[in-house]
Amino acid sequence: MAQERTAAIVGVYEYPLRVAPGISAMEVKIESIAQALADAGLEWSDVDGLYDAGDGEAGGGLQLAAYLGINPTVIDTTQVGGSSYEFHAAHAVRDIAAGKCKVAVLSYGSTSASNRVAIGTGGRVSPAPNWQQNMESPYGSTLISNYAMVKQRHMHEYGTTTEQLAGISVATRKHAMRNPEAVKAMTDLQFVGVREITVEDVLESRIVADPLHLLECCMISDGGGAVVIASAEIARNCKKPPVWIIGSGEATKYLENNGDITTSAAAQSGPIAFQEAGINPSEIDIAMIYDSFSITVAVCLEDLGFCAKGEVGDYVANGRLAFDVKGTPALNTDGGGLSSNHPGMRGIFLLFEAARQLRGESTSQVEGAKLAVAHGNGGLLGGTHTGGTIILAKD
Query: What mean pLDDT is predicted for residues 187-201?
Result: 96
The Cα–Cα gap between 257 and 270 comes to 23
Q: Answer for the pair 211, 222: CB distance below 8 angstroms, yes or no.
A: no
The Cα–Cα gap between 381 and 261 comes to 8
HEC profile of the chain: CCCCCCEEEEEEEECCCCCCCCCCHHHHHHHHHHHHHHHHCCCHHHCCEEECCCCCCCCHHHHHHHHHCCCCCEEECCCECECHHHHHHHHHHHHHHCCCCCEEEEEEEEECCCCCCCCCCCECCCCCCCCCCCCCHHHCCEHHHHHHHHHHHHHHHHCCCHHHHHHHHHHHHHHHCCCHHHHHHHHHCCCCCCCCCCHHHHHHCCEEECCEEHHHECCCCEEEEEEEEEEHHHHCCCCCCCEEEEEEEEEEECCCCCCCCCCCCHHHHHHHHHHHHCCCHHHCCEEEECCCEHHHHHHHHHHHCCCCCCCHHHHHHHHCCCCCCCCCCEECCCCHHHHCCCCCCCHHHHHHHHHHHHHCCCCCCCCCCCEEEEEEEEECCCCCEEEEEEEEEEC
Handedness of CA 333, 335, 337, 342 (dihedral sign): negative
Handedness of CA 231, 89, 290, 116 (dihedral sign): positive
Task: Kindly report, residue by residue over 195-254, the tens digit of the pLDDT.
Answer: 999 999 999 999 999 999 999 999 999 999 999 999 999 999 999 999 999 999 999 999
Task: Kindly report, residue by residue over 326-338, the tens digit of the pLDDT.
Answer: 999 999 999 999 9
User: What's the pLDDT score for residue 63?
Assistant: 86
Give yes or no for residue 1 having a pLDDT over 50: no
Mean pLDDT over all residues of the chain? 94
| Residue 126 confidence class, pLDDT cut points 50, 70, 90 | low
The Cα–Cα gap between 141 and 322 comes to 34
Percentage of residues in the chain having pLDDT higher than 90:
85
Instruction: Give the predicted TM-score (pTM) of the model.
Output: 0.96
Task: Report the length, in residues, of the chain.
Answer: 395
User: What's the pLDDT score for residue 122?
Assistant: 58
Burial (CB count <10 Å: 0-12, 13-18, 19+), residue 21: exposed
In this structure, which CATH number among 3.40.980.10, 3.40.50.300, 3.40.47.10, 3.40.50.620 belongs to the domain 7-115+220-394? Answer: 3.40.47.10
The Cα–Cα gap between 18 and 156 comes to 36
Q: Answer for the pair 351, 86: CB distance below 8 angstroms, yes or no.
A: yes
